[in-house]
């Protein structure tokens, strides 16, 4: 008997009217209705007239201005630093999004629930280990580990970019040392929001706190998903994540429609 397969969308929209980035980085979508593209079609099909098209309609289309980090996307090691894998023996050039192994992008998923942590909190290795014990999961190589923060509930609100906890350097390495190569968060960034990091750096003078989770990629190359959504709908484990990125040559990231898949035996 075929198993019942449930698909759970864990991606946000690309849209004009919901703030998912600081305003200078926000995507912009220009919508063309069917009649708007008639001049384009008539240019490509010389000699045709508007009345030659059913109901005077050509095709709906959209023009989109965005960065590779708009919407739900997968960051490549190249985004974090120019080199990676120093911890594995020798630094090498970081891979770009078109070079990310596809097997990293379709693997069993694990959800760590860190919604209890306040905005700006930096998750430690001990926090990760305690959560894995709580959910009863032993990490396996290539597990995709996603982090459920408070930020997921703030999507569409003005405080979204500054919401949620972040993954620290040691927490990230805890995962990477165990063979994880792809992670994710429902926050704007894998690291704590910049507003909190800036305050910590100013108070301590410790510049190693800048983008500390991202910079773990210098030691072991990895990818992470940012701006996931709906992670509350997922169990702690027992599902698969699919997150193949758009194939953009030599880019630091690629957009993805991240989806969680749960398979159960048919009744």
What is the largest distance, in Å, between two alpha-carbon atoms of the chain?
70
Is there a contact between 96 and 78 (Cβ–Cβ < 8 Å)?
yes
What is the model's pLDDT at position 188? 98
pLDDT in tens, 108-141: 999 999 999 999 999 999 999 999 999 999 999 9
CA distance 214 to 184: 12
The structure tokens 């001049």 sit at 39
Q: Measure Cα distances from 79 to 22, 75, 76, 211, 252 in Å.
A: 18, 6, 6, 11, 5
Per-residue pLDDT averaged across 64-83, rounded?
98
What is the model's pLDDT at position 19? 87
Is there a contact between 253 and 95 (Cβ–Cβ < 8 Å)?
no
Per-residue pLDDT averaged across 48-73, rounded?
97
Q: How many residues does the chain have?
A: 267
What is the model's pLDDT at position 51? 96
**CATH, domain range 73-261:** 3.50.30.50
Question: Would the pLDDT of 83 be above 80?
Answer: yes
In this prediction, residue 260 has a pLDDT band, given cuts at 50, 70 and 90, of very high
As beta bridge partners, residue 242 has 106, 259
pLDDT in tens, 165-205: 999 999 999 999 999 999 999 999 999 999 999 999 999 99
- DSSP H or E run through 214: helix 212-215
Tell me if the pTM is above 0.75: yes
The structure tokens 């007239």 sit at 49
What is the model's pLDDT at position 174? 98
pLDDT in tens, 212-257: 999 999 999 999 999 999 999 999 999 999 999 999 999 999 999 9
What is the model's pLDDT at position 1? 65
Question: Would the pLDDT of 264 be above 90?
Answer: no
128 alpha-carbon distance from chain centroid: 19
* DSSP SS3 for 254: strand
Q: What is the dihedral of CA 17, 73, 219, 91, to 10 degrees?
A: -120
What is the model's pLDDT at position 120? 98
Domain ranges of the chain: 28-65, 73-261
Beta-carbon count within 10 A of 175 CB: 26
In this structure, what are the phi and psi dihedrals at residue 11, rounded to the nearest 5 degrees?
-115, 155
What is the model's pLDDT at position 199? 96
What is the model's pLDDT at position 138? 98
CA distance 180 to 162: 26
Is there a contact between 246 and 255 (Cβ–Cβ < 8 Å)?
yes
pLDDT in tens, 30-60: 999 999 999 999 999 999 999 999 999 999 9
As beta bridge partners, residue 111 has 146
Of 83, 105, 100, 104, nearest to 92 by C-alpha is: 83
Alpha-carbon Rg for the chain in angstroms: 21
Helix axis angle for 169-176 and 125-135, nearest 10°, is 50
Mean confidence (pLDDT) of the chain? 97
């Amino acid at each position: 008997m075929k198993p019942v397969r449930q698909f759970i969308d864990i991606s946000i929209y690309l849209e004009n009217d919901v703030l998912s980035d600081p305003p200078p980085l926000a995507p912009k979508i220009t919508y063309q209705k069917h009649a708007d593209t008639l001049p384009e079609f008539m240019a490509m099909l010389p000699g045709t007239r508007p009345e030659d098209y059913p109901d005077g309609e050509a095709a709906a289309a959209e023009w989109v201005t965005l960065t590779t980090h708009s919407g739900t996307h997968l960051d490549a090691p190249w985004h974090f630093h120019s080199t990676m894998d120093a911890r594995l023996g020798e630094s090498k050039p970081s891979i770009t999004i078109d070079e990310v192994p596809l097997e990293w992008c379709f693997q069993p998923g694990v959800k760590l629930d860190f919604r209890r942590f306040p905005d700006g909190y930096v998750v430690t290795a001990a926090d990760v280990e305690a959560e894995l014990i709580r959910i009863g999961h032993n990490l396996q190589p290539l597990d995709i580990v996603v982090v459920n923060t408070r930020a997921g509930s703030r999507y569409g609100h003005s405080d979204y970019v500054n919401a949620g906890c972040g993954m620290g350097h040691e927490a990230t390495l805890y995962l990477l040392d165990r063979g994880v190569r792809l992670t994710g968060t429902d926050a704007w960034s894998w690291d704590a929001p910049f507003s909190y990091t800036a305050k910590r750096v100013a108070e301590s003078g410790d510049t190693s706190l800048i983008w500390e989770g991202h910079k773990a990629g210098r030691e072991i190359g990895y990818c992470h998903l940012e701006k996931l959504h709906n992670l509350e709908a997922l169990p702690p484990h027992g599902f698969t994540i699919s997150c193949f990125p758009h194939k953009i040559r030599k880019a630091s990231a690629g957009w993805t429609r991240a989806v969680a898949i749960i398979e159960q035996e048919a009744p």
